[in-house]
Amino acid sequence: MSVFVFYTEVSIGCACVLMLLLYSIKRLPTPQLRFTLFHRLVLWHILYFFSDALWALVNDSVLPKNTFSVLAVNYSNAIIAAILFYSCFIYAEMSTRPEMTRVQIRHLQSRLRIPIYVEIVLLLVAFLVAPDFWLDENLEPCDLYYFILSFLPFVYIMTVTVRCIVRGLKPQNRQNLKTYLVIASYTPGCIVAAGLQIFLSLTTPVFCFWCTMIILFVYLNSQNQLISTDPLTSLNNRNQLQRYLLLQREAKTSFVIMVDVDHFKQINDTYGHMEGDRALVLVSRALKKACGRLRMSIFLCRYGGDEFLMIAQTKTPKEVLKVVRGCLQEEIENRKSSLTYTIEVSMGYANWDGRAATFRDSIVAADQKMYEDKRSSV
């Protein structure tokens, strides 16, 4: 069997595995934008594998091998590879910056597409104007082509890796460090796999194997997050809270902070449950924004209904409350809803020694202070 035929079979096999994964993603009962972006990322991997399979068939002369067909499959590989790693960049940004809105995502996408548009046009013109320049006497691409093939993906992937690692090392993101490292792990493997495939053996589908494995790994991690994430607000849920409480940690000054949306039942009864959900999402965005601004380790979750919980390693809990109220006011001022009902929260906090056995006592104490705050605001 020809090595190129084997390469083709492996590429198509990996594409079929990812097609099954794509079907599974489509059936997920979640509207989260992160899974939509992951769906697109998997789709571009599938398209790249099929394009790479065509490349192998042309190189083995199973399909007609001439200047046009060789340049066509290499052009396809270069453009799809750029879009693939652009999709990886967008997915990583969304996964490691959950506070991003759809408007911010669209703005980021529009900026990151510009280099791809430039490559699409310039590479097409170059192939049409001087096709012989890009191929040797054996119809093999020159070194400059491989540089162009890898340059844009390398820039995308290295940028997102550095950003993921930097964010993961921030104190407020420590509890989600695994997610940051999983996203960042895509890069070194891709670089090594692509390097081995280009410089050592073009006929060994190392890159295809690696991409399939890491995509499956990211999917499994995403499924685990889905179990631990509130579908409405994308915050941690009670399952994740239980995991957090079981972690071994150093004895540090921590405070449990309870946040409750005032008059939430009235919002539901007057404007409907859909508007109530929007109010909860708005509050959750404010809490995420506050966690990003505070230079401390904070665990944030939706505790239940209209209640949220924060566990902050700090000696100044009043500072946390102040920042939360400020961020909430910003979100209220920026909301696009024509409805002008008031969204306010009551908050209470209590000291926690970090032991799971004493957590319930801290919750009760924080609850009491929260209801005191609620009664004082009436």
- Whole-number pLDDT of residue 255: 93
The CA distance from 55 to 57, in Å, is 6
Tell me the DSSP string of 10-59: HHHHHHHHHHHHHHHHHT-S---HHHHHHHHHHHHHHHHHHHHHHHHHHH
Tell me the DSSP string of 270-314: HH-HHHHHHHHHHHHHHHHHHHHHSSS-EEEEEEETTEEEEEEE-
- Whole-number pLDDT of residue 203: 63
Average of per-residue pLDDT across 136-152? 88
Q: What is the pLDDT of residues 68-126, one digit of tens each?
A: 999 999 999 999 999 998 998 888 887 777 667 778 888 888 999 999 999 999 999 99
Is the pLDDT assigned to residue 165 strictly greater than 60?
A: yes
Is the pLDDT assigned to residue 172 strictly greater than 60?
A: no
- How far, in Å, are 6, 87, 209, 352, 358 from residue 204 at the CA level? 9, 25, 10, 55, 56
Q: What is the pLDDT of residues 207-262, one digit of tens each?
A: 888 888 888 888 887 777 777 888 788 788 998 898 888 875 666 678 999 999 99
Domain annotation for the chain: domains and CATH numbers: 3-227 (1.20.1070), 238-376 (3.30.70.270)
- Whole-number pLDDT of residue 91: 84
- Whole-number pLDDT of residue 375: 83
145-157: b (≥16 Cβ within 10 Å) or e:
bbebbbebbbebb
Q: Find out whether 50 and 12 touch, Cβ atoms under 8 Å.
A: yes
Give the confidence band of 341 by pLDDT, cuts at 50, 70, 90: confident
More confident residue, 197 or 152: 152
- Whole-number pLDDT of residue 59: 86
- Whole-number pLDDT of residue 280: 92
Which residues face 260 on adjacent strands?
A: 307, 346
- Whole-number pLDDT of residue 188: 67
Average of per-residue pLDDT across 145-169? 82
Q: Find out whether 202 and 150 touch, Cβ atoms under 8 Å.
A: no
- Whole-number pLDDT of residue 247: 76
Mean pLDDT over the full length of the chain:
84
Q: Which of 38, 89, 78, 37 is nearest to 55 (CA)?
A: 78
Give the confidence band of 166 by pLDDT, cuts at 50, 70, 90: confident
Tokens representing 330 are 């910003």
Q: What is the pLDDT of residues 19-48, one digit of tens each?
A: 999 888 877 665 567 778 888 989 999 999
Q: What is the pLDDT of residues 283-299, one digit of tens each?
A: 998 998 898 888 788 89
Average of per-residue pLDDT across 191-205? 68
- Whole-number pLDDT of residue 146: 86
Is the pLDDT assigned to residue 265 strictly greater than 60?
A: yes
- Whole-number pLDDT of residue 112: 92
Give the confidence band of 7 by pLDDT, cuts at 50, 70, 90: confident
More confident residue, 183 or 24: 24
pTM: 0.70
